Amino acid sequence: MGSRIILFAIFSVLAIASSSSVNAATAKSPISSPAPAPAPEYVNLTHLFSFAGPYKIFLGYLESTKVLDTFQNQANDTTEGITIFAPNDAAFSKLKNPSLANLTQDQLRSVCLYHALAHYYTLADFQKLSQSGPVTTFAGGQYSLNFTDNSGTVLIDSGWSKTKISSSVSATDRAAVYEVNKVLLPEAIFGTDIPPTSAPAPAPTPETAPTADSPAADGGSKSAPASSTKPSSSFKISSLSALTHLVFAVAIGGFLFL
């Protein structure tokens, strides 16, 4: 008798757990209803870069070079989608030598395009990408990046810039935006004459005045903590594993009873 109750308890917990994980999985794509007005599937990149974090300087460059339209079109109108690496404002402030100061408009445009891949990649996809050798960016041709997957941390190497994906800013159906702590400088523009050992870089340099690099007048708004938007999936994963633990605990409790 008692064991039946326990079995029932186990089954109901299992049922709750599985139904809630199904909910989590389906929550993303709204159930197709005959409603005439579809929710906007596209991401508004201007909005995202204005409000998601301190990406004002990056946004300024994207706007002044019109690359923003290119990216938005790619996100809107292609099934390939887009992956964007957004340097935060601090990344531009750190940029001293070389800097973007003397670049022509064409070169600036290439640097902006260099911060995107013409395909939507999830974080997990980078493991495969890391085995495929240099990956051509949106800038095309010799503008490539090398990716390394270091047990879940995605390292990015442009030759000049070695950085990593520090957070996932947004991932809709066709646009993935990841934050990086450095501006990606392509060898195709800055050459291969990379000074050796820029290694002991991460000394906590106090942020000084905003550099002249910023095209935006208000580019200097310094906000100290690089706000890292946590990907909501990590929450899902942790709450799921909590459920698993609970199920496990109940099962063991049942065993002890029998």
Residue among 98 and 254 whose Cβ is closer to ligand NAG:
98
Residue among 72 and 163 whose Cβ is closer to ligand NAG:
72
**8 makes contact with ligand NAG (CB under 6 A):** no
Q: Is the peptide bond before 202 cis (omega within 30 degrees of 0)?
A: no
Residue among 6 and 138 whose Cβ is closer to ligand NAG:
138
The piece of 110-118, 157-165, 233-241, 244-252 that touches ligand NAG (CB under 6 A) is 157-165
Structure tokens given for 189: 């523009």
Phi, psi at 31, each rounded to 5°: -60, 130
Residue nearest ligand NAG, CB atom distance: 47
Q: How far is the CB of 134 from ligand NAG (least distance, A)?
A: 5
The piece of 56-64, 96-104, 109-117, 232-240 that touches ligand NAG (CB under 6 A) is 96-104
**253 makes contact with ligand NAG (CB under 6 A):** no
Residue among 33 and 132 whose Cβ is closer to ligand NAG:
132
Strand partners, 149: 154
Antiparallel, parallel or unpaired: β 175-180 and 162-171 = antiparallel
The piece of 31-39, 69-77, 82-90, 212-220 that touches ligand NAG (CB under 6 A) is 69-77
Residue among 145 and 171 whose Cβ is closer to ligand NAG:
145
Q: Kindly report the length of the chain.
A: 258
Calpha distance 118→201 (Å, rounded): 30
Q: In the window 161-200, what residues touch ligand NAG (CB under 6 A)?
A: 187
**50 makes contact with ligand NAG (CB under 6 A):** yes
Residues 6+ apart with CB under 8 A from 29: none
In the sheet that 135-136 helps form, which strands lie side by side, from edge to edge? 116-117, 82-87, 175-180, 162-171, 153-157, 144-150, 135-136
Single out the residue of 64, 130, 146, 181 in contact with ligand NAG (rule: CB under 6 A): 146
Residues 6+ apart with CB under 8 A from 73: none
Structure tokens given for 58: 């990056």
Structure tokens given for 219: 């580019």
Single out the residue of 73, 122, 142, 205 in contact with ligand NAG (rule: CB under 6 A): 73
Residue type at position 206: P
Contact string 27-46 vs ligand NAG (x = CB under 6 A): -------------x-x-x-x
